[in-house]
């Protein structure tokens, strides 16, 4: 947080598939796995392109998060299906050590393509919808603290959850 690249709009990927895109996705996967994230956006590793990844076979930091399919999403577009919002705790690998209570739309549809250019279109709700909204926000220069309605609910993870993030309850999430 503080890097101008994280506050800028990322550019569409023009060439799908490509060796450069494949290499970027390998870097993103390695980074996400090393930091135990549930998702990552390309600008978070310094690449201003519209690429996000999310989901994992196991997400040890998010035992209550439910199922999120392991996905590479290039040039994503989100359509809101339900304007009702839920608030839940989020963290971000670009805002280490912090958590905030963030409103997100409950139900969305997202479209894009995978790394090979095959179209993806899915409906998502709950944590799945939250992760996608969090990651796609990164592509528009938005970090989750900008979405917090009441900054009383933004703070250090170690203070908010002294027993550890695994005990923060089923409504809580930590996208990236």
Which active-site residues does the annotation give? 135
Contacts of 85 (CB under 8 A, 6+ apart): 103, 104, 105, 106
Minimum distance of Ni ion from residue 116's CB (angstroms): 25
92 vs 115, beta carbon nearer Ni ion: 92
133 binds Ni ion (CB under 5 A): no
In sequence order, what are the residues at sequence separation of 6 or more whose Cβ sits closer than 8 angstroms to the Cβ of residue 74?
Answer: 13, 16, 21, 50, 51, 112, 113, 114, 115, 117
Q: Is 32 in the site for Ni ion (CB under 5 A)?
A: no
Which window, 22-30, 67-75, 91-99, 108-116, contacts Ni ion (CB under 5 A)?
91-99
Nearer to Ni ion, 17 or 78 (CB): 78
Indicate the Cα dihedral angle 30, 36, 146, 97, nearest 10°: -120
92 binds Ni ion (CB under 5 A): yes
Q: Work out how close the CB of 17 gets to Ni ion at its nearest, in angstroms, rounded to a whole number.
A: 25
Q: Quick check: 24 binds Ni ion (CB under 5 A)?
A: no
The reply to whether 176 sits near Ni ion by the rule CB under 5 A is yes
State whether residue 45 is helix, strand or coil: helix
Percent helix, strand and coil across the chain, each rounded to 5? 30, 30, 40
CB 92 to Ni ion: min, Å: 3
Nearer to Ni ion, 39 or 112 (CB): 39
Q: How far is the CB of 117 from Ni ion (least distance, A)?
A: 25
Residue 125, class by beta-carbon neighbours within 10 Å (0-12 exposed, 13-18 middle, 19+ buried)? middle
| Contact footprint for Ni ion (CB under 5 A) | 92, 176
């Amino acid at each position: 947080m503080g890097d101008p690249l994280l506050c800028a709009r990322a550019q569409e990927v023009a060439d799908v598939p490509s060796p450069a895109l494949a290499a970027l996705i390998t870097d993103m996967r390695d980074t996400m796995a090393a930091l135990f994230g549930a998702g990552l956006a390309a600008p978070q590793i310094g690449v201003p392109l519209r690429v996000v990844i999310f989901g994992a076979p196991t997400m040890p930091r998010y035992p209550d998060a439910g199922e999120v399919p392991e996905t590479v999403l290039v040039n994503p577009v989100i359509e809101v299906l339900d304007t009702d919002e839920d608030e839940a705790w989020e963290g971000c690998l670009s805002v280490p050590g912090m958590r905030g209570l963030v409103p997100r739309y409950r139900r969305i549809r997202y479209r894009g393509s995978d790394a090979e250019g095959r179209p993806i279109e899915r409906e998502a709700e709950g944590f799945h919808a939250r992760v996608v909204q969090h990651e796609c926000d990164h592509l528009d220069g938005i970090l989750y603290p900008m979405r917090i309605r009441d900054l009383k609910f933004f703070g250090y993870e170690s203070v908010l959850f002294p027993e550890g993030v695994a005990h923060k309850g089923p409504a809580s999430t930590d996208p990236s």
